[in-house]
A = this chain, B = another copy of it.
Amino acid sequence: MAKIHEVAEAAGVSISTVSYALSGKRSISPATRDRVERAAALLGYEPNAGARMLAGRRTQIFALTEPFRPDTHAPTHMSFVLATSIAARRYDYDILLLTDAEASAGMRRVSASGLVDGIIVLDVAPEDDRVALSRAIDVPTVFIGVPEDVEGLVCVDLDFEAAAALAVDRLADAGHRRIGFVGHPESAYARSNFPPRVRRGVEQEARRRGVAVSAEYPGEGDERHRDIREAVRRLIDDGVTALALHCDDAAHSAVLAELAAAGLSVPADMSVVSIGSSFDTSSFSTPLDRIPLEPESSCELAVGLAARMADGESVEPGVRLTEPRYQAFGSVSPPR
């Protein structure tokens, strides 16, 4: 725990020179900078966080608010947390967790105490009380996800509607006229902000392209695996020649299992595309084309915006959607 004073002494300069040499906030002669850096490294100097906050009015901490709802999909959520945390470090920020009751109440607390320079909001619900909170506090806030009311907010997300449309387009381009959609359990469409956007994207693009869609929303819990296989069976009986999936990896596995059980091969007998998946669809027994979720893109963008706002730059409110990307792994071909 060396202090700036000791570094200054060791380098034979004043403490302000040490501060400037290390922060780069004013020009320092190469020789001096070098001496300072050497001394700092030698002593293992790390500026005291508290002193820095107090004097510099910047904490280099972002709060990450995540309610951890019971129906949150843990693996996907984890990849968002990870991506945010990594992006934050690139901008020299640490992440402070606000969960459970503190997801909301903590926003007020940490902004009032000046503990954080910005707030990143995860796991956004259509009607989210953190929307009103973000307007009430004076700390820059960025939403990853799009709530109902976005007035004055800075939001970032994958363009799920475009992603869904892209999936439908690829299938329609290949000549499919009747496709099946396997979505999340019905309950997810009220609680979360993005499943409805995928559904809407599929429906609208299908209408535009003259493609018929049969949708299935297999349930949760114990019987899920069976539910999904029954849903796939119904879609096969319906005569669909392609499937668009927006569900978790276990559901993907179940779909593939049922196709195999029905003696259908991909893509010869059934084309399959995965929409907004955060897991690796290329390592399934049958690699699947996908439009990936890519939390890294949204999180990087969100953290970058938060950093700019924390620097006092003004950022235009609005919803920033990242463009979907199509990854082909050979699971789509023309229908038989």
Tell me, rounded to whole Å, the shortest Cβ–Cβ distance linking A311 to chain B: 18
> Across the interface, which residues of B come within 8 angstroms of A250, CB to CB?
250
- Selected from B77, B85, B110, the residue in CB contact (under 8 A) with A100 is B85
- Selected from B48, B77, B96, B224, the residue in CB contact (under 8 A) with A97 is B96
B49, A68: Cβ atoms under 8 Å?
A: no
Interface size class of A (residues with CB under 8 A): 35 or more
Question: Which has the most chain B C-beta neighbours within 10 Å: A94, A96, A226?
Answer: A94
- Selected from B89, B101, B222, the residue in CB contact (under 8 A) with A253 is B222
Contact with B along A30-54 (1 / 0, CB 8 A): 0000000000000011111111111
On whether A94 and B94 interact (CB within 8 A), knowing A47-B113, A49-B114, A50-B114, the answer reads no
> Across the interface, which residues of B come within 8 angstroms of A110, CB to CB?
49, 94
* A113 to B100 Cα, complex, angstroms: 28
> Across the interface, which residues of B come within 8 angstroms of A81, CB to CB?
97, 99
Instruction: Give residues 298-322 of A contacting B (CB, 8 Å).
Output: none
> Across the interface, which residues of B come within 8 angstroms of A96, CB to CB?
61, 94-97
* 5 smallest beta-carbon distances between A and B, as pairs: A50-B53, A46-B112, A74-B74, A50-B54, A49-B115
30 contacts between A and B (CB under 8 A): A1-B138, A45-B112, A46-B109, A46-B113, A48-B113, A48-B114, A49-B50, A49-B53, A49-B113, A49-B115, A50-B114, A53-B53, A54-B54, A64-B97, A68-B78, A74-B74, A74-B78, A75-B75, A77-B78, A81-B99, A85-B97, A89-B101, A89-B102, A94-B97, A94-B106, A95-B97, A222-B256, A222-B284, A224-B253, A225-B253
Which residues of A come within 8 Å of B, CB atoms?
1, 44-54, 59, 61, 64, 68, 72, 74-75, 77-78, 81-82, 85-86, 89, 94-97, 99-102, 106, 109-110, 112-115, 138, 221-226, 250, 253-254, 256-257, 283-285
